[in-house]
């Protein structure tokens, strides 16, 4: 679970907690990567570009790739800022998800080894309504640029995006509960899918006893 919001008191953090609790309830494991709390550096360095002959991941990137390699789903949680995810999450895409992966690999959908065949699930929040975002064509552009593009480009197995709108200060309690119920039900579905893959086999051939999301 990659969390990209600087506030631990945000509704995004409530989503993180609800999702992780549901994963734990299903006897599976949620590995949380809080990018701001980690002090993750989102800036791609010249020496990290995959076009270089002798490419090797930086130590922090290598650690994240190890987490991804041993996971079976990638869950992104972030607010929409100025129509796109926060810069720190874009940096995670560039430095970690795209590590050693150049534009030819992306175009040919070669498959990022740490991500190939795995589930991609996103939760995004917005202070405005989905109707307004849709009028600005932001919903479609976000799904194309940050969901389908990454899912196809890295050759991941599944893709789903849950958008939660009208997230404002002093959020109405009943609305908040409804949205967190959506989060928990989505988590339960993915946990069930991972359990089925464990029991009946998965394209990745993983034999881990505890599933990670």
The CATH number assigned to the domain holding 136 equals 3.40.50.360
Within-domain flag for 207:
no
Within-domain flag for 159:
yes
Q: How many CA atoms lie within 13 A of 111 on its CB side?
A: 10
Within-domain flag for 137:
yes
- Segments forming the whole domain that contains residue 68: 2-200
* Pair 157, 151: CB distance under 8 Å: no
Q: What's the number of domains the chain is made of? A: 1
- Does position 54 have pLDDT exceeding 80, yes or no? no
Within-domain flag for 101:
yes
Residue range 3-24, pLDDT digits in tens: 999 999 999 999 999 999 999 9
Within-domain flag for 120:
yes
- Give the C-alpha separation, 94 to 76, whole Å: 14
Within-domain flag for 66:
yes
- Give the C-alpha separation, 57 to 162, whole Å: 31
Within-domain flag for 209:
no
pLDDT computed for residue 208 by the predictor: 37
pLDDT averaged over the chain? Answer: 89
Residue range 174-203, pLDDT digits in tens: 999 999 999 999 999 999 999 999 888 755
- Does position 210 have pLDDT exceeding 50, yes or no? no
Within-domain flag for 136:
yes
């Amino acid at each position: 679970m990659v969390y990209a919001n600087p506030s631990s008191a945000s509704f995004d953090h409530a989503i993180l907690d609800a999702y992780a609790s549901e994963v734990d309830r299903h006897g599976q494991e949620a590995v949380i990567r809080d990018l701001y709390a980690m002090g993750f550096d989102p800036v791609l360095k010249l020496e990290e570009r995959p076009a270089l002959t002798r490419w090797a991941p930086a130590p922090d990137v290598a650690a994240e790739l190890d987490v991804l390699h041993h996971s079976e789903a990638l869950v992104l949680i972030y607010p929409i800022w100025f129509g796109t995810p926060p810069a720190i999450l874009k940096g995670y895409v560039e430095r970690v998800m795209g590590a050693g992966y150049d534009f030819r690999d992306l175009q040919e959908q070669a498959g990022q080894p740490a991500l190939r065949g795995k589930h991609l699930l996103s939760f995004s929040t917005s202070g405005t309504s989905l109707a307004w975002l849709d009028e600005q064509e932001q919903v479609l552009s976000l799904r194309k640029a940050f969901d389908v593009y990454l899912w196809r480009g890295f050759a991941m197995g599944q893709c789903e995006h849950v958008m939660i709108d009208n997230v404002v200060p002093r959020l109405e309690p009943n609305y908040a509960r409804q949205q967190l119920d959506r989060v928990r039900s989505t988590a339960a579905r993915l946990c069930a899918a991972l359990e089925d893959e464990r029991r009946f086999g998965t394209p990745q051939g993983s034999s881990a006893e505890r599933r990670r999301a």
